[in-house]
A and B are shown apart, each in its own frame.
Chain A
Amino acid sequence: MMSTSRSGVEVRLEDLRRRYAGVTALDGLSLTMAPGELVALLGPSGCGKTTALRLVAGLEEANGGRVVIGGEDVTNVPANKREIGMVFQAYSLFPHMTAMQNVAFGMQLHEVGTEERRKRAGEMLELVGLSAHANKYAHQLSGGQQQRVALARALAIEPKVLLLDEPLSALDAKVRSRLRDEIRRVQLEVGTTTLFVTHDQEEALAIADRVGVMNAGRLEQLGPPTTIYSRPATPFVAEFVGLTNRLPGVVKGREVEVRGTRLPLVKPDSTDGPAIALVRPEAVSVAADGDVSSGPLIGTVIATVFLGATSRVTVDLGDITVLAQLPTSDAVALTAGTRVRLSLRTDPVLIARDEKAPTEA
Chain B
Amino acid sequence: MTAAGNPAVAGVGRPITGGRRLSLTWVGAVPFLGYVSVFLFLPTIIIAAGAFLSDSGPTLSNFGNLSRSYIVSATINSLILSGITAVLGAALGAVLSYAIATGNPNGVLRRAAVSASGVLAQFGGVTLAFAALASIGPAGIVYLWMAQNNLDFYSSGTWLYDLRGLEVVYLYFQIPLMVLVFLPAVDGIRPQWREATESLGGNTWHYWRYVAGPLLAPAFLGATLLLFANSLSAYATAAALINQGGIILPLQISNAITSEVGLHEPGFAKAQAVVLIAIVGIVTALYAVLQRRTGRWLQ
Which A positions have Cβ atoms within 8 angstroms of B? 57-59, 78-86, 88, 91-92, 94-97, 105-106, 108-110, 137-139, 153-154, 157
Are A96 and B214 neighbours in the complex by a CB distance under 8 Å? yes
Asked whether any CB of chain A lies closer than 8 Å to the CB of B13, the reply is: yes
* B199 surroundings in chain A (CB, below 8 A): 57, 59, 79-80, 82, 84-86, 154
CA distance A84 to B196 in the complex (A): 10
Shortest B263–chain A CB gap in Å is 55
CA distance A58 to B215 in the complex (A): 25
Shortest A86–chain B CB gap in Å is 4
* B201 surroundings in chain A (CB, below 8 A): 80-81, 83, 106, 109-110, 157
Are A80 and B202 neighbours in the complex by a CB distance under 8 Å? yes
CA distance A105 to B195 in the complex (A): 13
Are B192 and A91 neighbours in the complex by a CB distance under 8 Å? yes
**B192 CB contact (under 8 Å) in A83, A92, A97:** A92
* B264 surroundings in chain A (CB, below 8 A): none
**A86 CB contact (under 8 Å) in B12, B196, B214:** B196
Asked whether any CB of chain A lies closer than 8 Å to the CB of B33, the reply is: no
B211 closest partner in A (C-beta) = A94
* B203 surroundings in chain A (CB, below 8 A): 80
B13 closest partner in A (C-beta) = A139
Instruction: Map CB proximity to A onto B149-183 as digits: 1 under 8 Å, 0 otherwise.
Output: 00000000000000000000000000000000000
B294 closest partner in A (C-beta) = A96
On whether A139 and B200 interact (CB within 8 A), knowing A91-B190, A92-B192, A92-B193, the answer reads: no
Contact size range, B: 20 to 34
Shortest B271–chain A CB gap in Å is 43
Are A94 and B193 neighbours in the complex by a CB distance under 8 Å? yes
* A83 surroundings in chain B (CB, below 8 A): 201
**A97 CB contact (under 8 Å) in B198, B202, B206, B297:** B297
Shortest A241–chain B CB gap in Å is 29
A-B contact pairs, 8 of them (CB 8 A): A59-B195, A84-B199, A92-B195, A95-B9, A109-B202, A139-B297, A153-B196, A157-B201
* A80 surroundings in chain B (CB, below 8 A): 197-203
From DSSP, what is the main secondary structure of chain B's interface residues?
helix
Are B202 and A95 neighbours in the complex by a CB distance under 8 Å? no
CA distance A195 to B40 in the complex (A): 60
* A97 surroundings in chain B (CB, below 8 A): 297
Shortest B184–chain A CB gap in Å is 15
Asked whether any CB of chain A lies closer than 8 Å to the CB of B11, the reply is: yes
CA distance A138 to B215 in the complex (A): 13
Are A92 and B190 neighbours in the complex by a CB distance under 8 Å? yes
B14 closest partner in A (C-beta) = A139
Q: A59-B195, A109-B202 are in contact. List 13 more A-B contacts (CB 8 A).
A: A57-B195, A80-B197, A84-B199, A91-B12, A92-B193, A94-B215, A95-B11, A95-B215, A109-B200, A109-B206, A110-B201, A139-B12, A139-B14
* A59 surroundings in chain B (CB, below 8 A): 195, 198-199
CA distance A91 to B190 in the complex (A): 8
* B202 surroundings in chain A (CB, below 8 A): 80, 109
Shortest A40–chain B CB gap in Å is 20
Shortest B15–chain A CB gap in Å is 9
Are A153 and B200 neighbours in the complex by a CB distance under 8 Å? yes
Are B192 and A88 neighbours in the complex by a CB distance under 8 Å? yes
CA distance A289 to B19 in the complex (A): 64
* B206 surroundings in chain A (CB, below 8 A): 109
Are B195 and A86 neighbours in the complex by a CB distance under 8 Å? yes
Asked whether any CB of chain A lies closer than 8 Å to the CB of B41, the reply is: no
B299 closest partner in A (C-beta) = A137
* A81 surroundings in chain B (CB, below 8 A): 201
* A88 surroundings in chain B (CB, below 8 A): 192, 195-196
Are A138 and B11 neighbours in the complex by a CB distance under 8 Å? yes
Shortest A232–chain B CB gap in Å is 34
Task: Determine which residue in A78, A106, A139 has the highest number of CB atoms from chain B within 10 A of its CB, and name it.
Answer: A139
Shortest A104–chain B CB gap in Å is 10
